[in-house]
Amino acid sequence: MKKTAILIPALFLGAMLHGQNIITVCGGDSVMLVLDQPFNGTITWQQSNDNINWTNLASSNNDTLYIVANNTPDYFRAGVQEAVNCPVYYSASTQINNNGTWSAGVSVAYVNPQTHGTYTMYSASKLRVSWTAPGSYAVDHYEVIATESIKGTSEVSSTPAAQLSDTLELLKSATAYRINVRACADASCSSYLACAANETQSTTWEEYWQVQGTDSGFDDASHLISDANTLNYAFVYGSSWAPPGYQDKIRYYYNPLAANEKGAKPAITTQAGVTGNLPSVTTFSANTGTGFLSNSMQCPTNDNAINFIGQTIAVPFNGQVRMFMESTGDDNHSRIYSIDSQDGYIGKDFDSSGDSACNCQGGDFVFGANCSLDTVLGIASDANFSQNQKISDVRQFKIGYPMGNDWLWNGSSNSFMVCTVDLTDLNGPNTYRMTQAFAHYDSLTQNWTIEYNGSYPKMFDGMQAPSIVHMGGNRYKIYFSYNWVLKNQQLSFTTKEVRVVYGYDKNGVIYFDDWETVAQGRNVNFLWANNILLLQPHETQFDDFHMFAPTGDPDFQVMYTNVGIPPAMMPFVNYCLLLNP
């Protein structure tokens, strides 16, 4: 069975149940032992004074055991029995000693100070931790454990025995952490010293992004591409799989301003991205005459084809670019579709004929034609998607997978989708009109399945325009607009602000309940180019945004976003830089 370690808040210390563990704590400390998944059966915890003769502990049939260490060493283990007549399987034992003495003087400091106008800020994802060595304990290395206050997830950093400080990275912004240090006696840290009195607390900073331009106001904001209007998405060509000449460049898709080009137009950066070099990831050459054209005024109707293209998400997959897209059919209901490119990973040509663009005016999207689409996520009235009950439309969406590695999707089951849904009635559990459902990808069936709670989908209530960022490993975050228009009110785009939530997958799959709630979303700040803070009426104009680390470096994060609300301003695409990653 698999065993793991957890550090919990307050005066509890976490213990690893792998191998022969020897844990030394200070007098009065408590320890929490956790038996991690996967296992199946009834759990019984046992205690021993000699690691030979064992006694069952009463009322200890769940995966967690809390212990107050005795003056003499004690041993603990967990037994799991699948059924009455099955054998019992035991974890390795853990020895608990309470004779430790260590006043580590753990302290925490913010890092990377900077000042922009009247605003002084520090890193939103890093904390510097320092401590002193124990007086009489042979240390192989140290582990610094930071456990956040919302979902209880932990970050663990390892440092050599001679090093008495370390910088924790990839932390959640604007989040309270409890931080402790353990002195490990061996390379695997199966034996260690940790004292609850050494625990300290600190809270990371909120994020500050800066609108690129010359002054304050969107009239003075820079344009990412001169003809870009809305609906942004991009991926980065990995150096190991990119076509010749495309390594480390950015493929970007957007909805242009020109009526005869509406849809999804490709563009490519003019050079490979370089960390810290903003022009290298914001200077594009548009590929006119390619991609998708879907001017709804020109698209034929009643031909069993789509007549509008909304959000598009391009995913490099299996030698091609798979384009997922929100599209509206003849019945005026929106669904998610997909189509694969005809030019490999270049991702400009999705037309199976000699044309280089899929054009609804030419009937390309008629099912069976040269740009025929596959339905990925349908609605309740669709014969093949009746399981998506209570859903009348699936609209603006984003897909999450480990794109922080090299952006190449392998079609594995750790992929997920966050999608806007319209419900068939007003009786659902949602409070707000804008709400997102959560879907998983099944690599065996190649289907996307929406998570449900009863007859309604589980929902991120009040979330609009999500942007998924892979932080590395099993860590993700979603930026979004928090739109508090109630479900029975007229939709408005002037009552929203940008927030961010975090989710960590467990055992290779991330579920809806692994995410923080919308209400727990952290504030995200924006400064104008002249370092004046944007107020809510301006921040509400961000839409269709796409945040990412274009060079794979978390210290260099960029945002492409629409700004402006008609009729006062025709939306265009600006770009922002995260000032305090």
Condensed to tens digits (0 to 9), the pLDDT of residues 403-455 reads 987 999 999 999 999 999 999 998 999 999 999 999 999 999 999 999 999 99
pLDDT tens for each residue of 484-542: 999 989 887 778 999 999 999 887 899 999 999 999 999 999 999 999 999 988 999 99
pLDDT tens for each residue of 185-235: 999 999 999 999 999 999 999 999 999 999 999 999 999 999 999 999 999
Average pLDDT over residues 446-466: 97
Distance (Å, whole) CA 522 – CA 414: 25
**Phi and psi dihedrals of 226, rounded to 5?**
-60, -30
Per-residue pLDDT, 362: 80
- Extract the tokens encoding 546: 């796409």
What DSSP string runs through 352-409? SSS-SEEEGGGTTTSTTSTT--EEEE--TTSGGGTTSTTEEEEEEEEEESSHHHHS-B
Given a contact cutoff of 8 angstroms between Cβ atoms, the answer to whether 369 and 379 are in contact is no
Which whole-number Å values give the CA distances from 150 to 86, 201, 511, 519, 549, in the listed order? 39, 14, 16, 11, 25
8 vs 373, higher pLDDT: 373
Distance (Å, whole) CA 253 – CA 468: 16
Distance (Å, whole) CA 304 – CA 275: 47
pLDDT tens for each residue of 333-347: 999 999 999 999 999
Average pLDDT over residues 257-274: 96
Q: 2 falls in which pLDDT band (50, 70, 90)? A: very low
Given a contact cutoff of 8 angstroms between Cβ atoms, the answer to whether 380 and 390 are in contact is yes
Per-residue pLDDT, 5: 36
Average pLDDT over residues 170-176: 98
**Phi and psi dihedrals of 227, rounded to 5?**
-105, 15
Domain 231-522 grouped into CATH 1.10.3470: no
Beta strand segments in 212-307, E: 228-236, 250-256, 263-269, 284-286, 291-293
* b/e burial code for range 214-234 (CB count within 10 A of at least 16 → b): eebebeebbebbebbbbbbbb
Distance (Å, whole) CA 283 – CA 273: 10
Average pLDDT over residues 550-579: 95
The class level of CATH for 12-100 reads mainly beta
Per-residue pLDDT, 17: 41
Q: Is the pLDDT of residue 357 over 60?
A: yes
Which whole-number Å values give the CA distances from 493 to 221, 244, 254, 481, 484, in the listed order? 20, 42, 20, 10, 10
Per-residue pLDDT, 205: 99
Q: Of all helices (H) and strands (E), which one includes residue 561? A: strand 558-563
Q: 10 falls in which pLDDT band (50, 70, 90)? A: very low
Per-residue pLDDT, 506: 80
Which whole-number Å values give the CA distances from 84 to 20, 78, 81, in the listed order? 28, 17, 7
Q: 60 falls in which pLDDT band (50, 70, 90)? A: confident
Distance (Å, whole) CA 227 – CA 412: 36
Q: 8 falls in which pLDDT band (50, 70, 90)? A: very low
Given a contact cutoff of 8 angstroms between Cβ atoms, the answer to whether 12 and 5 are in contact is no
pTM of the model: 0.93
Per-residue pLDDT, 6: 32
**Where along the chain do the CATH 2.60.40.10 domains lie?**
108-204
**Where along the chain do the CATH 2.115.10 domains lie?**
231-522
Q: Is the pLDDT of residue 13 over 80?
A: no
What DSSP string runs through 485-537? -BTTS---SSSEEEEEEEEE-BTTB--GGGBPPGGGPEEEEEE-TTSPBPPHH
**Mean pLDDT, the chain, whole residue set:** 92
Per-residue pLDDT, 93: 92
Per-residue pLDDT, 300: 63
Beta strand segments in 176-288, E: 176-184, 191-193, 200-203, 207-211, 228-236, 250-256, 263-269, 284-286
Of 201, 182, 185, 152, the residue nearest 15 (C-alpha) = 182
**Span 108-204: which CATH code?**
2.60.40.10
Q: Is the pLDDT of residue 9 over 50?
A: no
Which whole-number Å values give the CA distances from 441 to 237, 271, 478, in the listed order? 23, 34, 18
Q: 359 pairs with which residues across the strands?
A: 293
Radius of gyration of the chain from Cα atoms? 27
pLDDT tens for each residue of 15-36: 434 456 899 999 889 888 888 7
Per-residue pLDDT, 354: 82
371 vs 59, higher pLDDT: 371
Q: Of all helices (H) and strands (E), which one includes residue 538? A: helix 536-539
Distance (Å, whole) CA 489 – CA 240: 50
Q: Of all helices (H) and strands (E), which one includes residue 539? A: helix 536-539
Q: How many residues belong to the chain?
A: 581
Bond into 567 cis (ω within 30):
yes
Per-residue pLDDT, 68: 85
